[in-house]
Amino acid sequence: MSIEDEIAAVKAAAQKKLQRLRERERKEQQALDQRVIELLRSQHSVLAGQLDTAAREALKTEAAMRSGRAKAARSPAAVLSVDTGGGDGQVHNGGPGGELVP
């Protein structure tokens, strides 16, 4: 086995170990988050309800913003256009700022 093969094997083993450690940490954090939510609901139900409502509204707002950006990206106004009005002749983004395209 060449040194390059050994290096590749060690890197692969280290990558697998890092993946396992990250997954274990993710699961531990998920369990902790779940426990915090359960305690919050049992000890502070009114606050938990308010936070639940606020979180749902925030998620709806974020989803609407993503949807709006996706629709804007698909609209004809988002297509690149060339300035033909005697301007600088550079390609501009068709968006509201009319930024130069690199």
Name the band, by pLDDT with cuts 50, 70 and 90, for residue 101.
Answer: very low
8 A C-beta contact, residue 41 and residue 48: yes
Determine the 3-state secondary structure of 91 from DSSP. strand
pLDDT reading at 98 higher than 80: no
Enter the pTM of the model: 0.54
Per-residue pLDDT averaged across 44-58, rounded? 96
Q: Nearest Cα to 79, choosing from 69, 98, 94?
A: 94
Name the band, by pLDDT with cuts 50, 70 and 90, for residue 84.
Answer: low
pLDDT 10s digits, 9-46: 999 999 999 999 999 999 999 999 999 999 999 999 99
**Angle made by CA atoms 20, 23, 28, in degrees to the nearest 5:** 125
